[in-house]
Amino acid sequence: MPGPIIRKPPCESNAAPNLSDYASVRASFSWETAGRMLSGLPSGAGLNIGYEAVDRHAAGKNADVVALRCLRKSGQIQDCTYTQLHAQTSRFANLLRRLGVGRGERVFSLTGRIPELYITALGTLKNGSVFCPLFSAFGPEPIRLRLAIGEARVLITTEALYLRKIAQLRNSLPKLEYVLIVAGSGRSDIPDTLDFHALLDKADDHFTIPPTDPEDWALLHFTSGTTGQPKAAVHVHAAVLAHHVSALFALDLRGGDIFWCTADPGWVTGTSYGIIAPLTLGATLLIDEEEFDAERWYSVLQDQQVTVWYTAPTAVRMMMKLGINVVQKFDTSSLRFMASVGEPLNPEAVLWGQQAFGLPFHDNWWQTETGGIMIANYAAMDIKPGSMGRPLPGIEAVIVQRRTQGIECIEQPDLPGELALRAGWPSMFRGYLGEEERYRSCFADGWYLSGDLARRDADGYFWFIGRADDMIKSAGHLIGPFEVESAFMEHPAVAEAGVIGKPDPIAGETVKVFIALKPGYAADTLLQRELLGFARQRLGAAVAPKELEFRRSLPKTRSGKIMRRVLKARELGLPEGDTSTLEET
C-alpha cells in the first residue's frame, strides 16, 4: 500500500531511543547475550518472571519507585512501590504454599483490573505455579470451559463475580479446590470459598522463590477466539527475556516511564505488557479500572503524565470517531511514544495520531502464541503507515508458501504468503493445552507458521494482508480485507469497516463491506453509492466491494477485534460458531 512515509529525525544523544540503530543492533543481537539484562535467581537457581519483575527491583535502586498506580472506579488512586509489591506478592506466594498449591499447578483469576489481580499474577509466578487470567466480562459457560481446559486448582475472583457466574459452576468443576474471594468491603463469608485478604494478611511477607527452570510453565493464555474456539497457549518463564527486550526496543520503554497498556490482563497483551514487561524495566505501570471512554482516557494521559502508551486499533478508531477537537482540549505533551496492537492499524489511524497527539501510533504485530512483540515500528525508524514494521532483533521473519512436504520461502519482495517465524525465541508458546497435534501442525522445517498472510517489501517492512481464514478469492484475485477496509477508513464518514467474501457462482466470491458511520452522517442510499464509488476509485473494480450495508457497530471480540467470521455467518445464515469472546453491542 504505497503512501506517505513518516520520517524520523536523527537521534539527539540526550533523547536517543533505546533502539537507535536498528540494523547494527539486529546484526549483533543474540538472545544469549541479551539474557545478561536479567538477573536470574540468586545462587544460580534459574529464571523466574516474578523475580525479574519485582524482587530484584525491591532489592535495588527502584525499591521506592511506584510499581503500580491503580486508578480505582471510586476515583481513589492507589500507589504500590516495588518494595510493597514485593511484600504483597511474597505473601500471596506463601498463601499458595500453605494451601499446598505448587509448581505447575494452575491459578486462575477472574476480576477487573484491581490491585489483587496483579498481586495474584506475580505471587503465582514467584511460587512456580501457572497463572491464567480470565476476562471478567465472560459469561458462565466460557468461564467453565476455560477453567476445565486449564484444570484450575485455584481461582481468585470478586464477591459479585462469584455469585453471578461461578457459584452455579462449582459442582461441574471437581478440580477447582480453592476459590479466593476479594470482598467488596470487610470480609467475605460465602460458603465454600476463602477470603483473599484474610489469608493474605496472615501470610508472611518473606518468601524465597524456589529454583525455577526457564522451561517451567508460567502462563496459560487463551487466544481471542477471533477465528474459532479459543486455544490455550502455554508459556514458560524464559519468556520474560522476550518481554523485556521487546518492551525496550519496540515500546521504547525504560525506568522512569509512566506506562499505560490499555489491554485487560484477560488477554495476552494485558499480561505480557500490562504486567510483566514494564516491571522488568523498573517503570511505573498505570492501571485503569474503568472501561474505555475517549475523553476520560485523554484526562488520564494528561493527569498521570503518561510517557509511553500502548493501545489497540479499535480504541484509536473510536477516538477518531469523536474528532480531533476533543483531544486538543487536553495537554498530552508528556507522551513520548505511542504504539498499537491487536489487529491491523489503518494508515489513516497512524496519521491521525500525528495530528491529534503530535506523535504517530507505532503499529506492532504479534499473537498469543508468540508471547511478545515480533514485528514492530521502532522509535528511530521511518514509518510506512499501514505496515507492521520490521522484525525485532533476535526474530527471523519470512514469507512462505505451504507445500505438501514442508514449506518454501518466498525471497522476492512484495509477494503474498504466510508469515512465518524461525522457531525457538524465548516467548514462543510451548504447546496448546490438550491439543498436541494442533500444536505440531503450526510448525514446519523449523519455522512457526502464524496463519496470517502478509508480504515483505524491498526495505524489509512487513505488510499485513489478512488472516488466512478471512482471505477472499474473487475472480482470480486474492483480496485481503484489511486493504479494502483501510480504503473505506479514508472517507470522512466512516468510523469502522468490516469486509467479507460471499460465495458467488461466477466469481467464486464477491466482496461485501459493512460500515459503521461517524455521528452526524445519515445511512442512506446516497452515501451508500458515494462510498462504493469512493472505494472503486481507490481499489479498482476487481477488488472494490459490490455490496455495502450500514450497521450501527460491527461485532467484535471483547479484546476489540472485528469478528469477520460472525459478520459472514450472519450474512449467510450459517451457525456463528464459538461466540464466547463476542462483545454484543
Q: Which does 124 bind (CB under 5 to 8 A by kind): Mg ion, ligand ATP, none?
A: none
Q: How far apart are CB 575 and ligand ATP at their closest, in Å? A: 16
Q: Which of residues 75-134 bind Mg ion (CB under 5 A)?
A: none
Question: Is there a contact between 47 and 212 (Cβ–Cβ < 8 Å)?
Answer: yes
Q: Which does 474 bind (CB under 5 to 8 A by kind): ligand ATP, Mg ion, none?
A: none
Q: How far apart are the first and last CA of the chain?
A: 32
Q: Which does 388 bind (CB under 5 to 8 A by kind): ligand ATP, Mg ion, none?
A: ligand ATP
In terms of CB distance, is 109 or 580 closer to ligand ATP?
580
Q: Which does 389 bind (CB under 5 to 8 A by kind): Mg ion, ligand ATP, none?
A: none
Q: How far apart are CB 306 and ligand ATP at their closest, in Å? A: 21
In terms of CB distance, is 179 or 349 closer to ligand ATP?
349
Cβ-closest position to Mg ion? 223
CB neighbours of residue 100 within 10 Å: 10
d(CA 392, CA 563): 28
Backbone φ and ψ for 138, nearest 5 degrees, come out as -60, 150
In terms of CB distance, is 419 or 554 closer to Mg ion?
419
Question: Is there a contact between 418 and 468 (Cβ–Cβ < 8 Å)?
Answer: yes
Q: How far apart are CB 313 and ligand ATP at their closest, in Å? A: 8
Nearest-5° angle of CA 182, CA 187, CA 188? 65
- Biggest alpha carbon–alpha carbon distance for the chain: 72
Site string for Mg ion, 167-206 (x = CB under 5 A): ----------------------------------------
DSSP string, 442-503: TEETTEEEEEEEEEE-TTS-EEEEEEGGG-EEETTEEE-HHHHHHHHHTSTTEEEEEEEEEE
Q: Which does 387 bind (CB under 5 to 8 A by kind): Mg ion, ligand ATP, none?
A: none
Q: How far apart are CB 161 and Mg ion at their closest, in Å? A: 27
Q: How far apart are CB 521 and ligand ATP at their closest, in Å? A: 27
In terms of CB distance, is 118 or 267 closer to Mg ion?
267
Q: How far apart are CB 563 and Mg ion at their closest, in Å? A: 12
Q: How far apart are CB 451 and ligand ATP at their closest, in Å? A: 6
Helix locations, 100-184, DSSP H: 115-126, 140-149, 159-161
d(CA 69, CA 465): 38
SS3 145: helix
Q: How many residues bind Mg ion (CB under 5 A)?
A: 1
The sheet carrying 66-71 orders its strands as 77-81, 66-71, 284-288, 258-261, 308-311, 337-340, 361-365, 375-376, 390-391
Q: Which does 561 bind (CB under 5 to 8 A by kind): ligand ATP, Mg ion, none?
A: ligand ATP
d(CA 485, CA 257): 35
Element (H or E) spanning 278, and its range? helix 277-280
Q: Which does 92 bind (CB under 5 to 8 A by kind): ligand ATP, Mg ion, none?
A: none
In terms of CB distance, is 225 or 416 closer to ligand ATP?
225
In terms of CB distance, is 257 or 418 closer to ligand ATP?
418
Q: Which of 10-18, 94-102, 218-226, 474-482 is the region at the interface with Mg ion (rule: CB under 5 A)?
A: 218-226
In terms of CB distance, is 223 or 284 closer to Mg ion?
223
What is the contact surface with ligand ATP in residues (CB under 6 A)?
223-228, 230-231, 341-345, 363-365, 367-368, 388, 450, 452, 464, 467, 561
Select from 286, 261, 270 the least CA-distant residue to 131: 270
Q: How far apart are CB 83 and Mg ion at their closest, in Å? A: 39
CA atoms within 13 A on the CB side of 425: 30
Q: Which does 464 bind (CB under 5 to 8 A by kind): Mg ion, ligand ATP, none?
A: ligand ATP
Q: How far apart are CB 223 and Mg ion at their closest, in Å? A: 5
User: Which residues, at least 6 apart from 584, have a Cβ–Cβ distance to it below 8 Å?
Assistant: 555
d(CA 120, CA 107): 8
d(CA 11, CA 310): 22
Q: Which of 38-46, 219-227, 339-347, 349-357 is the region at the interface with Mg ion (rule: CB under 5 A)?
A: 219-227
Q: How far apart are CB 390 and Mg ion at their closest, in Å? A: 22
In terms of CB distance, is 88 or 367 closer to ligand ATP?
367
User: Which residues, at least 6 apart from 245, have a Cβ–Cβ distance to it below 8 Å?
Assistant: 34, 37, 392, 393, 394
Q: How far apart are CB 462 and Mg ion at their closest, in Å? A: 17
d(CA 367, CA 429): 10
SS3 245: helix
Q: Which does 239 bind (CB under 5 to 8 A by kind): Mg ion, ligand ATP, none?
A: none
Which residues of the shown chain bind Mg ion in the complex (CB under 5 A)?
Answer: 223
